[in-house]
Structure 1
Amino acid sequence: MSLDDLTDDVTDSYAGIGDELTVSLDRETRNELALLETALEPEATDELVRRAIHMLFQSTVDTGKLDFQLRSDYDVTYDEYLSGMTFEEMTGADQYPTMDDERRYQF
Structure 2
Amino acid sequence: MSLDDLNDDVQESYADVGDELSVALDRETRNELALLESALEPEATDELVRRAIHMLFQTTVESGKLDFQLRSGYDVTYDEYLSGMTYDEMTGADQYPSMDDERRYQF
TM-score interval for Structure 1 and Structure 2 normalised by the shorter chain: over 0.9
Q: Which residue of 2 aligns with 1:94?
A: 94
Q: How far off is 1:4 after superposition? A: 0.3
Distance in 2 of aligned mates of 1:26 and 1:96: 54
Distance in 1 of aligned mates of 2:18 and 2:102: 57
Q: How far off is 1:104 after superposition? A: 3.7
Q: TM-score, normalised by structure 1?
A: 0.94
Q: How far off is 1:24 after superposition? A: 1.0
Distance in 2 of aligned mates of 1:6 and 1:13: 10
Q: Which residue of 1 aligns with 2:33?
A: 33
Structure 1: tracts of 5 or more residues without a match: none
Matched, 1:15 2:7: no
Distance in 2 of aligned mates of 1:40 and 1:81: 34
Q: How far off is 1:102 after superposition? A: 4.3
Give the 5 Å matches for 1:1-107. 1-107=1-107
Query: What is the aligned-residue identity percentage?
Result: 86
Deviation per CA, 1:22-49: give whole Å up to 9, x if none.
1111110011001100111100000000
Describe the SS at the equivalent of 2:61.
helix
Structure 2: tracts of 5 or more residues without a match: none
Distance in 2 of aligned mates of 1:78 and 1:97: 27
**C-alpha root-mean-square deviation of aligned residues, in Å?**
1.1
Distance in 2 of aligned mates of 1:106 and 1:75: 35
Greater mean deviation of Cα atoms: 18-27 or 94-103 = 94-103
Q: TM-score, normalised by structure 2?
A: 0.94
Describe the SS at the equivalent of 1:100.
coil
Deviation per CA, 1:41-96: give whole Å up to 9, x if none.
10000000000000000101011111111100100000000000000000000000
Distance in 2 of aligned mates of 1:42 and 1:106: 73
